[in-house]
Chain A
Amino acid sequence: GQNIDQPTEMTATEGAIVQINCTYQTSGFNGLFWYQQHAGEAPTFLSYNVLDGLEEKGRFSSFLSRSKGYSYLLLKELQMKDSASYLCAVKRVDSSYKLIFGSGTRLLVRP
Chain B
Amino acid sequence: DAEITQSPRHKITETGRQVTLACHQTWNHNNMFWYRQDLGHGLRLIHYSYGVQDTNKGEVSDGYSVSRSNTEDLPLTLESAASSQTSVYFCASAAGGTGELFFGEGSRLTVL
Q: Is the CB of B42 within 8 A of A87?
A: yes
* Cβ-closest chain A residue relative to B56: A98
- Partner of A97 from B40, B44, B99 at Cβ < 8 Å: B99
Instruction: Of the listed stretches A67-75, A76-84, A99-107, name the one at the interface; the rest are far from the partner chain.
Output: A99-107
CA distance A101 to B103 in the complex (A): 14
Assuming the contacts A96-B50, A97-B31, A100-B45, asked whether A41 and B100 have C-beta atoms less than 8 A apart, the reply is no
Which of the listed residues A35, A43, A44, A89 has the most CB atoms from chain B within 10 Å of its own CB?
A43
Complex interface: chain B residues within 8 A of A41 (CB) = 105-106
Assuming the contacts A96-B50, A100-B45, asked whether A44 and B33 have C-beta atoms less than 8 A apart, the reply is no
- Interface SS of chain A: strand
Q: Is the CB of B104 within 8 A of A42?
A: yes
Report which A residues bind B (CB closer than 8 A): 31, 33, 35, 41-45, 48, 50, 87, 89, 91, 96-104
* Cβ-closest chain B residue relative to A40: B106
- Partner of B42 from A31, A48, A50, A104 at Cβ < 8 Å: A104
CA distance A100 to B44 in the complex (A): 7
